[in-house]
Structure 1
């Protein structure tokens, strides 16, 4: 966790021995709560005993960190390729959420700035905050700023409302676009989905549905002339909704960022 210089100086002054040079690396690695700092000091005292090797403990901790990072990386790679990390089936992927129909696994984003509203059971009102976390016990922790403002037991709340607003949704859309590169299916140049003339089309030249992106009207029309669809399907003019003349690979979506083809998206190199 990165901390500001002003906050770092404040913590350094309030930490026992914080004026020493040895305190800086520990603070740069992360910020611990007061009870966690006490636990850290206690652990370090244990490590000072002759019958324990500090280097062995640190090696074991490093190994656990590496294993956790490898496990997380494998899970994220599976999700990135559109598969459920729990059962391996295909995910229903949206811009801010991914859901597996097969096993019920899901993951979703929450607002960063708009806040949340926890509705209490039995019409008992609401608890508002900046963020809310459903912990392992089923209780909800409501945070305002960096502090826990309320802990709502499982039986006391009904549902959680995430207060998205149009400004934040627009900003998050822009962040996604900034990270992605979309290649035109005709000229192979980079296509801007916000530019005039950008097209997405779904067409089946064989038995399987495909999806293509185009950077301009000219590229789209050139592609249509070179690769006409089958007459009985007329994919360029017909909506995929209700059509059963091919094997579907994509959900039926209107044009928008959620419809971008995986085949034409790659991470933008930094």
Structure 2
């Protein structure tokens, strides 16, 4: 069903119209989550993306109105609207945009109630703390601590919270004191629509080094298969001929085929065998 904005106040209509205008100017339209990003960092992100992407911050309901009026497959983005969504526009492909957005993320301290993005591990060893209440605070947060040599020492490496678990207030306070910043804060791409297709982050999170290594391995395996199966290609013909000559020479030597190219090797083999027999006789 079409979405109409005739009942909206003028300023809301302007917001919807602005999104629709940008959607016509750019080849990619997407959603990003702005939750928890300090205003200062938002401004820095905008500067970093200048000339690459435009971010439109407005209410989720107005984003939904605009996507509904744009219609078509673009409307599929509405199901990804959540939290503090904003609209992002770009002429880059979604893979490149995703990579750029990942670069805007910075590490920040965890707050009580937040979910750990990964296992948070406290390494054993000395700290900069002097003996005092900090020992009890560390222990209450599940971190084995003791006093050694006039300093507070963490006695063993400990995973204090698993990926996906909630960070407690006590642990959050201790992590700040230990200067451990586990939270990735930055624009999180929720979804992107480009060239008729909808892309989710799970598809866009490509490990380029891993993919390159896989391509290199596949290329080497294909080369080896071509050579060993004697399937000639422009890239492998020289290696196939070299292998064929080497195999033919080896066969001639083992079968004692007297040819001028291998006679020296046959004589050498015969000499080695005679020496081996001589040593056995002795």
TM-score interval, normalised by the smaller of the two chains: under 0.3
Hey, which of these two has a bigger chunk of helix by percent? 2
Q: Which has the higher contact order (CA 8 A, sep 6+)?
A: 2
How does the TM-score come out when normalised to structure 1?
0.21
